[in-house]
Amino acid sequence: MNTAFEIAKRISFYKQKNYTRFIVRLSIAATAISVAAILLTFSIVNGFQSTISSKLYAFWGHIQISAVNGANLNDDTQVTKKIKSIPNIQSASAFLNQTIVLAKDLEIEGLNAKGIADFSSIPNLIKGRLIQSSSQSPSKEIVLSKNIATKLKIVIGDQVSLYFFQNNQVQERKLTVVGLFHSGIEEYDLKNVFVDIHLLQQMIQAPTAISGYQIILKDLNKIAETQNQIQSILPNNWVNSASADLYPQLFDWIQVQNINRNITIVIMLLIAVVNLITCLLILLLERIPMIGSLNAMGATHAMIQKVFLYQASFIACIGIGLGLLIGLGLSLLQFKFQWIQLDESAYLINTLPIQIQPLQVIGVVIGTALVCYLSFLLPTIWIKKISPARAIRFD
């Protein structure tokens, strides 16, 4: 029989004095709140980073291939085959960017037309349908952002004019609006439209011209390795770049959330540790006569120390368990019902995102338990300084 464990169990679940019971409950509550806050912080930051990154990658892909000098490339089917043969590459599609003027009645707007061949890559379609390809001629359909449609008073089914300046001449194409997309990234929603790449190639009279290739990866953790593999098969003057390097302002902003997350975690752990140390010190003071009696009966300091470590462990385990239930419960409720709304103009998303990673949950539980256990050792060292004779007389 584990004597220290039995004694700890009896004094932990025996009816305690009011002030002691209050301190114990306060420590349990502080631990539970700390664990719940840490789990919520992880879930929110994970969801935020994943959602925003997905939106950004939907526009540009994970990697872009372009000319070193920024000029148009010629679409090369052999290079495309080699790129697609790399194991970590999920897809590689050509795109062509051209500056155009979009007009609807008296409303005009200077925009970037992104010509694509894979219409399923149009991000965040919220209304209408995707562009449909035509084997006979370039598709005369266009997908706009909701922001542009609102600004120019355009609805699905309207015809708009696309103007492009080429060889000192203005070319016009009339296109039908078939869909609206909305990413929430206003800077890009207000500047980009999607059209058939062959339409832009026809307008600039260059049937094989492309701005580059947009590449989607299977595993983002291997992005550096994949970049090296891609570069080794590219022709001279072609270069591949990670989208995170091309648009650092937004990706750096996403990474800043890690700092906020780490600060929150440290603060919550400090709160839990201070409360648990305080609680254990109070429990030690209350049990000084018991400590003296155990010493007098021959109990070692290590055994008495175990008694209070077990008692503190009961408190920590209850707190961690409650925190786990509260943190995961609130995360799942937000994930399912999306009650908390955000200002999209500030956060690029309109609903607080949640992403729970099981390994992080396990890490929080084990990490918190380890920190709590280490914090318990400090006050129990004081037991060695208690004189049995004086402790028995302690009132």
Q: Domain spans of the chain?
A: 3-55+251-393, 94-210
94-210 maps to CATH 2.60.40: no
| DSSP structure class, residue 272 | H
Please, which pLDDT band fits residue 70 given cuts at 50, 70 and 90? confident
pTM of the predicted protein model? 0.81
385 or 260, which is more confident: 260
Q: Classify 61 in phi/psi space as left (phi over 0), alpha (psi -120 to 50) or beta.
A: left
> Quick one: which H or E segment has residue 109?
strand 107-116
Are 211 and 97 spatial neighbours (Cβ–Cβ below 8 Å)? yes
Q: Is the pLDDT of residue 333 over 70?
A: yes
Q: What is the pLDDT of residue 2?
A: 66
Are 85 and 232 spatial neighbours (Cβ–Cβ below 8 Å)? no
Q: Rounded to an integer, what distance in angstroms lies between the CA atom of residue 343 and that of residue 47? A: 16
Q: What is the pLDDT of residue 193?
A: 95
Span 146-175, average pLDDT: 90
Please, which pLDDT band fits residue 11 given cuts at 50, 70 and 90? low
Are 96 and 64 spatial neighbours (Cβ–Cβ below 8 Å)? no
Q: Is the pLDDT of residue 291 over 80?
A: no
Bridge partner list, 61: none
Q: Is the pLDDT of residue 357 over 90?
A: yes
Span 360-385, average pLDDT: 79
Q: Is the pLDDT of residue 381 over 70?
A: no
Are 107 and 187 spatial neighbours (Cβ–Cβ below 8 Å)? no
Please, which pLDDT band fits residue 161 given cuts at 50, 70 and 90? very high
Q: Rounded to an integer, what distance in angstroms lies between the CA atom of residue 276 and that of residue 376? A: 7
DSSP string for residues in 196-243: EHHHHHHHTT-TTEESEEEEEES-GGGHHHHHHHHHHHSPTTEEEEEH
Please, which pLDDT band fits residue 296 given cuts at 50, 70 and 90? low
